[in-house]
């Protein structure tokens, strides 16, 4: 039986997930990629109020196409997660529970995932048209000036994902990227 | 004064209005981004028939479903509609009436607007303002005849970021080159949307090796290289890559690459440039003759 997950979520509900399993995700997820991460990260460091409360939420590394006429959303697959690694531990510390993207993470991200009992899921990469069929609602949340890199809230139904790193730091990927972290804040 | 009108050569000149080029490029952008190449679909189906890993099978089916949905819903195959490279072969007897480069740029803009594609190109690589259009890179080549051939290759950067160039010693062995190519695919790992199509450029200069590595991605995946040495090298590499176990989306399996395509060029006695340009499974291109 394929497991299901609803977001926002408690950290407790993530405990049932194991690396390698398929999971169907329903609920709300927030798109954020490079530039949005950079802004959120800087806002946290400056102690500013964020445009969304990260506690229990899911972030989807995604910058969709424009929305075609008559559609809810355009093509909306995941982007490479590794580029968000440097910003990730700080977001996890704010309570971020679920990350959705594609590809491998750094070793320091895997450790942070375990420490904060979060999960990292991967979406069918390069399947943006397919993924658009699971999106039921889209609302803009912040950083509109970033265009496709703005933060949108998506309501999704049974989005098919895989558990890539579970809350126990178990991973589906054989070899993690071992590069050191690039910014000094998260020596935690 | 020589009267050009009576000149036989002049009679052979064919005039192509820039407007026609613009329209063609626009249509090719739409086609490339929404209709997955037939040879890629064939390769995916072949891989699915051979794949035993359950996760890999699910992933391959999703990729094929995605292509189907993109086609029927006129949606972009992937949201990263890329930085479009446009390759143009212009016959020496063709005269373009108007500005060729402007026509290509406007064509791309039109195609991307009509397709609701994502603009992913920043004008300044350091300032990085929010993209407002998709500016293509245009490569032109003069050929014989009266034909104008256009290829549009919109490539995403998840995989473009995994490109590697190495300047080997001229005395390097084939094994060293093979090891470098395998290592490059291994570094790309799960990140660049496997199964991959691996383009390799061997020889030329540093820049030219990179150019032909990318052009190699345009070769039909099911056509065997006419150079038997390269054909064998392609086979060897594909076997080795598919033993890496990365698999579709990096979740394991024996389908890490669908094909390896190699181009070569004359090079200097002191060097041996090798470039590897990896494409994700969403290898998109479309071409037309005018
Ligand atoms: S690597 Fe290819 S399939 Fe993957 S997100 Fe980029 S363009 Fe799309």
pLDDT digits (tens, 9 = 90+) for B66-122: 999 999 999 999 999 999 999 999 999 999 999 999 999 999 999 999 999 999 999
Domains and CATH numbers, chain A: 2-172 (3.20.130.10)
Nearest C-alpha in B relative to A146: B130
What's the mean pLDDT when you consider all of chain B? 95
When pLDDT is averaged across residues B19-23 and rounded to a whole number, the result is 98
Gap between the Cα atoms of B111 and B199, Å rounded? 26
Gap between the Cα atoms of A143 and A147, Å rounded? 8
Could you say which of A33, A37, A39, A105 is catalytic? A37
Q: Which residues of A touch B57 (CB under 8 A)?
A: none
For A66, the 3-state DSSP assignment is coil
A180-184 contacts, C-beta under 8 A, 24 or more apart = A180/A108, A181/A85, A181/A86, A181/A89, A181/A106, A181/A108, A182/A86, A183/A86
Candidate of B67, B282, B283, B284 to mutate for ligand 1, largest count of ligand atoms within 8 Å of Cβ: B282
Name the residue among B228, B195, B229 with its Cα closest to residue B57.
Answer: B195
Report the pLDDT value the prediction gives residue B132, as an integer from 0 to 100: 76
Gap between the Cα atoms of A7 and B88, Å rounded? 49
pTM for the structure as a whole: 0.94
Gap between the Cα atoms of A72 and A131, Å rounded? 12
Does the N-terminal peptide bond of residue A7 adopt cis geometry, omega within 30 degrees of 0? no
Burial class (CB in 10 A: 0-12, 13-18, 19+), B239: exposed
pLDDT at B7 over 60: no
Burial class (CB in 10 A: 0-12, 13-18, 19+), A96: buried
Phi-psi region of B174 (alpha: psi -120 to 50; beta: other; left: phi over 0): alpha
Does the N-terminal peptide bond of residue B195 adopt cis geometry, omega within 30 degrees of 0? yes
Nearest C-alpha in A relative to B244: A174
What's the mean pLDDT when you consider all of chain A? 94
Residues of chain A with pLDDT under 50: 186-188
Q: What is the separation, in whole angstroms, between the first and last Cα of chain B?
A: 33
pLDDT at B8 over 80: no
Gap between the Cα atoms of B46 and B138, Å rounded? 34
Percent of all residues in chain B with a pLDDT value above 90, rounded to a whole number? 90
Report the pLDDT value the prediction gives residue A187, as an integer from 0 to 100: 41
ipTM of the complex: 0.92
Chain segment A44-64, per-residue pLDDT in tens: 999 999 999 999 999 999 999
Q: Strand pairing partners for B94? A: B14
Residues in chain B: 290
Within A63-164, where are the H helices?
88-93, 107-115, 128-132
- Read off the pLDDT band of B133 (50, 70, 90): confident
pLDDT at B129 over 90: no
Beta strands in chain B (DSSP E): 14-17, 83-91, 94-97, 137-143, 148-155, 164-168, 196-204, 257-267, 272-279, 286-289
B4-7 contacts, C-beta under 8 A, 24 or more apart = none
Candidate of B193, B194, B199 to mutate for ligand 1, largest count of ligand atoms within 8 Å of Cβ: B193
Q: Strand pairing partners for A120? A: A99, A165
Q: Does residue A37 carry a catalytic annotation?
A: yes
* Sign, Cα dihedral of B188, B192, B194, B196: negative
């Amino acid at each position: 039986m394929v497991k299901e997950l609803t977001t926002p979520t408690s950290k407790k509900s993530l405990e049932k997930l194991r690396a390698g399993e398929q999971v169907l995700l329903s609920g709300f997820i927030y798109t954020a990629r490079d530039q949005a991460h950079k802004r959120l990260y800087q806002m946290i460091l400056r102690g500013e109020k964020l445009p969304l409360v990260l506690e229990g939420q899911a972030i989807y590394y995604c910058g969709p196409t424009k929305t075609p006429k008559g559609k809810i959303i355009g093509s909306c697959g995941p982007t490479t997660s590794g580029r968000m690694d440097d910003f990730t531990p700080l977001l996890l510390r704010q309570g971020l529970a679920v990350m959705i993207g594609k590809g491998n993470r750094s070793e320091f991200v895997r450790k942070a995932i375990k420490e904060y009992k979060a999960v990292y899921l991967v979406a069918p990469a390069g399947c943006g048209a397919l993924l658009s069929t699971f999106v039921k609602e889209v609302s803009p949340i912040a950083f509109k000036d970033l265009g496709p890199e703005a933060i949108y809230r998506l309501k999704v139904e049974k989005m098919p994902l895989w558990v890539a790193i579970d809350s126990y730091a178990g991973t589906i990927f054989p070899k993690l990227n071992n590069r050191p972290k690039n910014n000094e804040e998260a020596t935690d | 004064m020589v009267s050009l009108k009576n000149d036989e050569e002049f009679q052979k000149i064919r005039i192509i209005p820039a407007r026609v080029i613009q329209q063609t490029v626009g249509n090719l952008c739409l086609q490339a981004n929404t209709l997955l190449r037939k040879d890629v679909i064939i390769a995916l189906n072949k891989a699915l028939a051979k794949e035993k890993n359950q996760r890999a099978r699910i992933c391959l089916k999703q990729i094929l479903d995605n292509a189907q949905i993109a086609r029927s819903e006129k949606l972009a195959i992937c949201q990263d509609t890329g930085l479009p490279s446009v390759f143009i072969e212009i016959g020496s007897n063709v005269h373009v009436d108007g500005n060729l480069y402007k026509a290509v740029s406007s064509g791309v803009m039109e195609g991307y607007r009509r397709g609701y594609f994502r603009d992913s190109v920043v004008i300044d690589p350091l300032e990085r303002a929010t993209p407002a259009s998709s500016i293509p890179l245009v490569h032109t080549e003069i050929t014989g005849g009266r034909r104008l051939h256009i290829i549009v290759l919109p490539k995403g950067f998840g995989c473009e970021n995994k490109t590697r160039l190495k300047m080997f010693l001229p005395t390097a062995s084939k094994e060293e080159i093979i090891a470098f190519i395998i290592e490059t695919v291994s570094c790309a790992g799960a990140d660049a949307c496997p199964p991959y199509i691996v383009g390799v450029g061997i020889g030329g200069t540093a820049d030219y090796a990179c150019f032909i590595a990318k052009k190699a991605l345009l070769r039909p995946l099911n056509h065997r290289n006419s150079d038997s040495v390269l054909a064998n090298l392609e086979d060897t590499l594909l076997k080795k890559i598919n033993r890496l176990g990365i698999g579709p989306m990096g979740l394991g399996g024996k389908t890490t690459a669908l094909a390896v395509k190699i181009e070569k060029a004359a090079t200097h006695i002191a060097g041996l440039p090798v470039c590897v340009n990896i494409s994700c499974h969403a290898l998109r291109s479309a071409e037309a003759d005018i």
